[in-house]
């Protein structure tokens, strides 16, 4: 079982719709959870992080965390073509807070 699992996609949504990206993790000791966006040929950039159960909103992005179910998700409202990218879920592990990444979900927003 992979430590962090994501559906590879592609997830295709029309412009203006809500995109829902999901991630499950195996280590119950993980404390911090992150979503990175990566455009083709570029390095990952942090878009959201969440530490506590529940929802966290930042502009068009909402991160949701359920530690009991070991599940974290990212919602993108009013999706734009510029949101087309690979979204990486990452969780901390161990005493040095090293980040373990999922393989990523490719999102395609079409006009």
Q: Which residues bind other proteins (CB under 8 A)?
A: 4, 8, 31-34, 36, 42-46, 49, 51, 88, 90, 92, 96-104
Q: Between 5 and 17, whose beta carbon lies closer to other proteins? A: 5
Question: Cα torsion at 55, 57, 34, 41 (round to 10°)?
Answer: 140
Minimum separation from the CB atom of position 97 to other proteins (A): 5
- 7 burial class (0-12, 13-18, 19+ CB within 10 angstroms)? middle
Minimum gap (Å) between residue 74 Cβ and other proteins: 14
We find the least distance from the C-beta atom of residue 60 to other proteins, in angstroms, to be 20
Helix, strand, coil distribution of the chain in percent, nearest 5: 5, 55, 40
């Amino acid at each position: 079982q992979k430590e962090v699992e994501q559906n590879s996609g592609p997830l295709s949504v029309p412009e203006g719709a809500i995109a829902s990206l999901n991630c499950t993790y195996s280590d119950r000791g993980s404390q911090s959870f992150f979503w990175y966006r990566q455009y083709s040929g570029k390095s990952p950039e942090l878009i959201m992080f969440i530490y506590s159960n529940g929802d966290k909103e930042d502009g068009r992005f909402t991160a949701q965390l359920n530690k009991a179910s070991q599940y974290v998700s990212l919602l993108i409202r009013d999706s734009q073509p510029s949101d087309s990218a690979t979204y990486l879920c990452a969780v901390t592990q161990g005493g040095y807070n090293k980040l373990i990444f999922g393989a990523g979900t490719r999102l395609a927003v079409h006009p």
